[in-house]
Chains A and B, each alone.
Chain A
Amino acid sequence: MKISTIFYSLKQGFINIKRNKLFSLASVGTIAACIFLIGLFYAVLANLQYIVKSAEDNVAVVIFFDYESTQEQKDAIEESIKKRAEFGTLTYVSAEEAWEEYKELYFKDAPELAEGFKDDNPLANSDSFRVTLNDISMQDEFVDFVEDLEGVRKVNYSDTTADTLEDFGKMVGFVSVAIIIILLAVGIFLISNTVMIGIAVRKEEIGIMKLMGAKDLFIRMPFMVEGVMIGITGAAIPLLVLVMIYERVIKSILEQFATVGSAMSLLSTGDVFAILTPAAFIVGGGIGLIGSIITIRKHLRV
């Protein structure tokens, strides 16, 4: 296809949009609503996954050793654990560190009570490995494995936390995907309708073009341009709105958590929109292209 033909198709695509202002606006509006909701779901989902991941990282399996276990046995246990695929991190917590943590947790307001144990660590045999997993769904299998290792006395883990986080992540994922699929289908339907109206308006012109020997692509291109332009415009508007909303909401949430003294981290605007921006344009343009191609195939037999 010649460059002049590409420019001609672009121009005709814009003319189609201009000529069919009301429907084009309605389509842009709907695509914008779709992309806005997709963006919103993505932002929420990405942050939830981020929080879930952070929480998962903190879900630790604590491994205590037999009272008479040797350093060699502990090293062997460490080596076996590190070989596992689901292994994330491993921290050795000595008996002294364990007692310090315990004191910090339970004798914070009355340190004098802990003074009685000054020279006699009650957790003398409670040194441990604190292990985090990179895949929380493997926790049960991992625990079974560790419990069978020689020199292991006890394994502490939170079954409920792991399952809840995993289930919650899955549920959010499924619901989002379902809603996004529905919205995409609505978007394609609307673009398809708009292009169909464009074809109906230009029916006579298309007929003349066919008789004069215009090729299929030449006739179809302006309608594809129309669909893609509507899709891209429909993506650009909600992106701008979402950036503004996201920045404010994140700021507000973090301020709220700061006032109650809790630490919470969320994804930055840059992190979210580095993925969301190209994705929105691809989805918007894609909806436009698919919507227009469906209609062209159905109503524009050349």
Chain B
Amino acid sequence: MIDLQDVSKSYAAGIPAVNNINLHIDKGEFVFIVGDSGAGKSTIIKMMLKELEPTSGKIVINGKNLARLKRRKVPMLRRDIGVVFQDFRLLKDRNVYENVAFAQRVVETPVKIIRRRVPAMLSMVGLAEKYRSYPKELSGGEQQRVALARALVNNPPILLADEPTGNLDPKNSWEIMKLLEEINNRGTTVIVVTHNREVVDAMQKRVVTIRKGVIVSDERKGGYIYED
């Protein structure tokens, strides 16, 4: 499903942000990519979304070799990958329903399907009652649930979560992780980039640890590797 072969990325001449990484993720896996700030986690995400080009190496996602993907085909790649961020990135001038529907509108989904699919997604994340609320009226956890519903409404085979619990308290963090696990159980490949040690240790999933742009460990049922 996701294959990174000898991938390196240097922003300027000097130390590479990502150095000769090899990573294979199968369909339906749940993977944590962990590491401290500046380890190269965000660079990997950006390369997978083709926001950044690797300096060398090959990235294949869902059978698409990103190096050969034409610019006009990039939207099709991104439709295969749902993304959630630490800061939620919800549209503040739109309510919960409109935020989720927005993801379907931009890929030109017929209105009839949007009307059916959005309430279903909101039910799944437990926010069916709050469809008229605006982001500022929601808690951090609720906002992240809306972001999750938005990322999943187009039914992507892959979900990329970049520090999804970074702005949440432990209770909300745990709820979001449970939701991600449920999504994974339904067949979506879930990749969570985080440095939340408690969550990683508790979930007992595959953990890929990155330090200074290099994969230092890849454990099937691992925990957070402490630097000391």
B69-105 residues with Cβ-Cβ distance < 8 A to A are: 71-72, 74-79, 83, 89, 91, 102-103, 105
Q: Are A213 and B89 in contact (CB under 8 A)?
A: no
Contact residue among B77, B107, B150 (Cβ-Cβ distance under 8 Å from A214): B107
Instruction: State the majority secondary structure of interface residues on B.
Output: helix
Interface check B49, CB cutoff 8 A: yes
In the complex, A1 Cα to B150 Cα: how many Å?
Answer: 23
Q: Are A214 and B75 in contact (CB under 8 A)?
A: yes
Contact residue among B49, B77, B91, B111 (Cβ-Cβ distance under 8 Å from A208): B91
Q: Are B107 and A212 in contact (CB under 8 A)?
A: yes
Q: Are B108 and A5 in contact (CB under 8 A)?
A: yes
Number of interface residues of B (CB under 8 A): 22
Interface check B110, CB cutoff 8 A: yes
Contact mask for chain B residues 108-127; partner A; CB cutoff 8 A; 1 contact, 0 none? 10110000000000000000
Interface check A118, CB cutoff 8 A: no
Given A4-B110, A204-B89, A216-B72: A211 in contact with B105 (beta carbons within 8 A): no
Interface check B189, CB cutoff 8 A: no
Given A204-B89, A205-B91: A212 in contact with B108 (beta carbons within 8 A): no
Q: Are A212 and B91 in contact (CB under 8 A)?
A: no
Nearest CB of A to B96, in Å: 15
Contact residue among B71, B72, B106 (Cβ-Cβ distance under 8 Å from A209): B106
Contact mask for chain A residues 283-301; partner B; CB cutoff 8 A; 1 contact, 0 none? 0000000000000000000
Nearest CB of B to A205, in Å: 6
- CB neighbours of B154 from chain A (8 A): 212-213
- A-B contacts, 7 of them at CB < 8 A, read A4-B110, A8-B105, A207-B89, A210-B75, A210-B78, A212-B150, A218-B106
Identify the A interface with B (CB < 8 A). 1-2, 4-5, 8, 204-205, 207-216, 218, 302
